[in-house]
Structure 1
Amino acid sequence: MMGYAPKMVNLTRTERRVRVDYQTRLKDWHGSGRPPRGLSSYKLEFGTELLLEHPPTPIIESQTIVSRHPLSGAHLSQPTAERHPLQRRAFYLTEHTASNSLVPILASHDATIWVCNGDFGDVGKWQPATRHADCYELYFLHRSQHPLSLMTEFGLLENIREGDFIFLPRGVAYSFLLTGRVTLLLYEIPKRLFRPYDYWMGDQQLWPFSPAAPIPPEPTPLTELQPPLSGAEATQVVIKRQLAGPTLLSCATPIFDVVAWEGEIWPFILRLDELVALSSPHVHLDPKKLTVFVSEDEGAAIQVFLPRWIHSLPYHHLNWVDEALFNHKGYGARPDIADGFMTLHPAGLAHGPDLRTLANTAPQEVPDPRDLPFREEVAVMVESRSPFVVLEDAEKVEVQGYDQSWYRQWIAQG
């Protein structure tokens, strides 16, 4: 009898990083909870240990933020909206009014989706630091004038490019270096994220990405950052927490003064070209086979559609989950859905490919597997077991009449 096969495994493996100027002093250090003399040990809930130059506990002041603040909103644990008929909906997110902060567009009990389409603050400055006390955070960079940098409590992540994912464990503070106009999506997941595990593929197949693919942060002195992090930028952090509201902490010591860390869970960059695309010459693969991240209770799953050989268009289908699909590049199943669109297909309603596209491919002979078309498409889809609520900022850029588009095509075909 086969042994137990796990359904999911950790996103990352155990790593240790030490700041360059501390490598001699800490050459024998390992995470034990007992720091070397003159340093502070900082243990996070998920087990990773950080060594800091100063203790993180001296807080000068704590105050509630009343006005809108970049990245200040808390996860919408009880999303509410007026009752509307169940509909398939679409939103042109890159047409959203340019702003310097993220705005929520869809919310469920399993995931909240935010978007920033604008300058994302003052160019050349570090964004106010943020820590989410309730959710794991996953960013996806759709468009950017320049590569981004991100300072975290673990160290620096840099050269973040279009198409990159950025993972931040729950409770980790971070600050973006603002570099110009971006279109950036944020997925907040209350439950811990894992990568799926396929018993027949195993870790030897490096699917959906190699354990070596995530890029870890490097501890970096604040004075070596360009520009340096100092003053209030280095000692203030916005805490996002349910019920409490966004809270601004002013600390006596720098937030990002890590000199070393060791642990199994840490922030990382994951590039699209590190993901493994699955395809088949014989069947159309269900999107669940394209899952890259899944929450521990399976309430939320994130799939990535990559450039690949296409056996056939998606079939008409009806789900038990809500699907929110963001088209990053070249999605072909619906020609009217351009780059930067997000579609929402709720549970209980059938959906599928554009009927015009389907009609053009139906009369064709079944292709020889060696002649299958290669499609340069990239899309990111979130499945939520609980229903998504469409929020005000999504309604501002909604594509009117999307739900009836299949009917209009059917009528046009006679």
Structure 2
Amino acid sequence: MKKWISFPRTEGETSRQAHADLPAGTFEREMGKEGFFGPATHFYHRHPPTGWTDFQGPLRPHAFDSTKMVHSGTSPWDSKPILQNRDSLVALWTCRAPMEHLARNADGDQLLFVHNGSGHLYCDFGHLEIRDGDYIVLPRGSLWRLEPDQGAALELLLVEASGGHFQLPDKGLVGPHAIFDPAILDVPAMDDAFRAQQTEEPWQVQVKARQQISTITYPFNPLDAVGWKGDNLAVRINWRDIRPLMSHRYHLPPSAHTTFVARGFVVCTFAPRPIESDPGALKVPFFHNNDDFDELIFYHRGDFFSRDNIHPGMLTLHPMGFTHGPHPKALAAGAAHTRKETDEVAVMLDSRTPWDILPDAHAVEVQDYVNSWAQPHK
């Protein structure tokens, strides 16, 4: 067990409750351990902690505009890898035509998030109709392929749990049915569409193992199972099925929105919700240090209330050691309580190991992102 040096103390002007009723004219910053689960101290500053006039060096935050990527290739292994570390690989891929081969990831569980489009997934477990906003978890070793609907290319965020597995989070005091009931998870069906594709024609399987591709040829379609039983499953949930935790008097940390956990990282979903209504509660995310996690956000839908000049299809990366929070316009709008609810949908990944930024991400980087917080020097 961990035995933190833990004896909360108070010095100077403070709030009695974190994220609420701040001393007049101050800006709160949280410095904590273990993300939002360990000991934390809240500082009350006279100026926004992001109110710099210049920022130099490799710690700077990054924004990437995936809408400027040119995707080609007919396989998920032709995707654009953007971030990688020992626990995860994050990539983007547009599937424009039915896959003419099967894919198998032998390096880890595979998570697909459908950003745009609709179509069909065929895998060992059967057939699923899929649409925008779907998360699909494919266990390590699964065979699968996609068929986009005609005129509806599937734009996908791909997340690999390298050497690991995706699991559901421990929901603690709120119980196992909060946020989403596990009963809402869909599994593929061995339906007529699945049986119809079980032909005796040659099929190839492209297997990714140790980040290398091997091709295996069969004289038949190996998606030929007639049944299955067990609990190592392909599952699907859509963000529309998620009922986010809310508090009208307290701004909850991002960890309250955790959807999946894996070794070394978590996946969270920001879904539309009412904004805090208590007069003293913060209405936007609080300033905080990223001291133990790299934070990646993929923006899917809506108006991103804590960010300026961000549109769907963009990603931001805030590296560990970087203090960040809402952009100045969002901070002012929150203070004025100009909005009563959010309409944003975003996928957040928090990683305990720093990510390496890969060339395909650098190619679409928004170089001036760090200055989106900058304050004019007075």
> Shorter-chain-normalised TM-score: which range?
0.7 to 0.9
Aligned partner of residue 67 in structure 2, secondary structure:
helix
Report the equivalent of 1:219. 190
Amino acid in the other structure paired with 1:397: V
Cα distance in 1, alignment partners of residues 167 and 363 from structure 2: 33
2:158 counterpart of 1:186: yes
2:168 counterpart of 1:195: yes
Report the equivalent of 2:297. 325
Cα distance in 2, alignment partners of residues 383 and 264 from structure 1: 27
Give 1:224 shift.
4.9
Cα distance in 2, alignment partners of residues 229 and 342 from structure 1: 41
Report the equivalent of 1:92. 65
Q: Is the 8 A contact 1:94 1:183 kept in 2?
A: no
Amino acid in the other structure paired with 1:116: W
Report the equivalent of 1:399. 366
Report the equivalent of 1:356. 329
Report the equivalent of 1:163. 133
TM-score scaled to structure 1, two decimals?
0.70
Distance 1:254 1:336, change over 3 A: same
Report the equivalent of 2:218. 251
Q: Unaligned 5+ residue runs, structure 1?
A: 1-83
Q: Is the 8 A contact 1:221 1:257 kept in 2?
A: no
Cα distance in 2, alignment partners of residues 321 and 186 from structure 1: 20
Give 1:336 shift.
0.7
Q: Is the 8 A contact 2:67 2:313 kept in 1?
A: yes
Amino acid in the other structure paired with 1:334: R
Report the equivalent of 2:207. 239
Q: Unaligned 5+ residue runs, structure 2?
A: 1-56, 277-282
Q: Is the 8 A contact 1:154 1:266 kept in 2?
A: yes
Report the equivalent of 1:303. 268
Cα distance in 2, alignment partners of residues 329 and 352 from structure 1: 20
Q: Spell out, residue by residue over 1:354-401, the C-alpha distance to the aligned partner (whole angstroms, 9 max, x if none).
A: 112213443x4xx7xxx9711111000001110111111111111111
- Of residues 237, 240, 243, the one that matches 1:276 is 243
How does 1:20-59 map onto structure 2 within 5 Å? none
Q: Is the 8 A contact 2:119 2:154 kept in 1?
A: no
Q: Is the 8 A contact 1:195 1:208 kept in 2?
A: no
2:77 counterpart of 1:131: no
2:304 counterpart of 1:314: no
Amino acid in the other structure paired with 2:161: I
Cα distance in 2, alignment partners of residues 385 and 357 from structure 1: 28
- Of residues 215, 224, 229, the one that matches 1:262 is 229
Give 1:220 shift.
4.1
Amino acid in the other structure paired with 1:242: R
Cα distance in 2, alignment partners of residues 230 and 352 from structure 1: 56
2:141 counterpart of 1:174: no
Q: Is the 8 A contact 2:308 2:372 kept in 1?
A: no
Cα distance in 1, alignment partners of residues 193 and 173 from structure 2: 46
Cα distance in 2, alignment partners of residues 183 and 221 from structure 1: 26
Distance 1:222 1:143, change over 3 A: closer
Q: Is the 8 A contact 2:294 2:318 kept in 1?
A: yes
TM-score scaled to structure 2, two decimals?
0.76
- Of residues 339, 342, 345, the one that matches 1:375 is 342
Cα distance in 2, alignment partners of residues 116 and 109 from structure 1: 21
Give 1:152 shift.
0.5
Amino acid in the other structure paired with 1:132: N
Cα distance in 2, alignment partners of residues 375 and 230 from structure 1: 51
Report the equivalent of 1:110. 87
Cα distance in 2, alignment partners of residues 129 and 136 from structure 1: 16
Q: Spell out, residue by residue over 1:116-154, the C-alpha distance to the aligned partner (whole angstroms, 9 max, x if none).
A: 14xx24x3x33420111121011111111xx21011011
Give the percent of matched residue pairs that are identical in Structure 1 and Structure 2. 33
2:124 counterpart of 1:153: yes
Amino acid in the other structure paired with 2:116: R
Distance 1:108 1:374, change over 3 A: same
Q: Spell out, residue by residue over 1:224-259, the C-alpha distance to the aligned partner (whole angstroms, 9 max, x if none).
A: 54x775523xx321111016x200011244310111
Aligned partner of residue 196 in structure 1, secondary structure:
coil
Cα distance in 2, alignment partners of residues 132 and 228 from structure 1: 21
Amino acid in the other structure paired with 2:181: S
Aligned partner of residue 289 in structure 2, secondary structure:
coil
Q: Is the 8 A contact 2:246 2:252 kept in 1?
A: yes
Aligned partner of residue 216 in structure 1, secondary structure:
coil
Q: Spell out, residue by residue over 1:182-233, the C-alpha distance to the aligned partner (whole angstroms, 9 max, x if none).
A: 3211000121111112231222xx12321211111112467854x775523x
Q: Spell out, residue by residue over 1:316-341, the C-alpha distance to the aligned partner (whole angstroms, 9 max, x if none).
A: 11121001101111211112111111
Amino acid in the other structure paired with 2:185: P
Q: Is the 8 A contact 2:200 2:219 kept in 1?
A: no
Q: Name the Cα RMSD after superposition.
A: 2.1
Give 1:275 shift.
1.2
Amino acid in the other structure paired with 1:193: F
Aligned partner of residue 302 in structure 1, secondary structure:
strand
Q: Is the 8 A contact 1:281 1:372 kept in 2?
A: no
Count of paired positions: 307
Q: Is the 8 A contact 1:157 1:268 kept in 2?
A: no
Amino acid in the other structure paired with 1:241: A
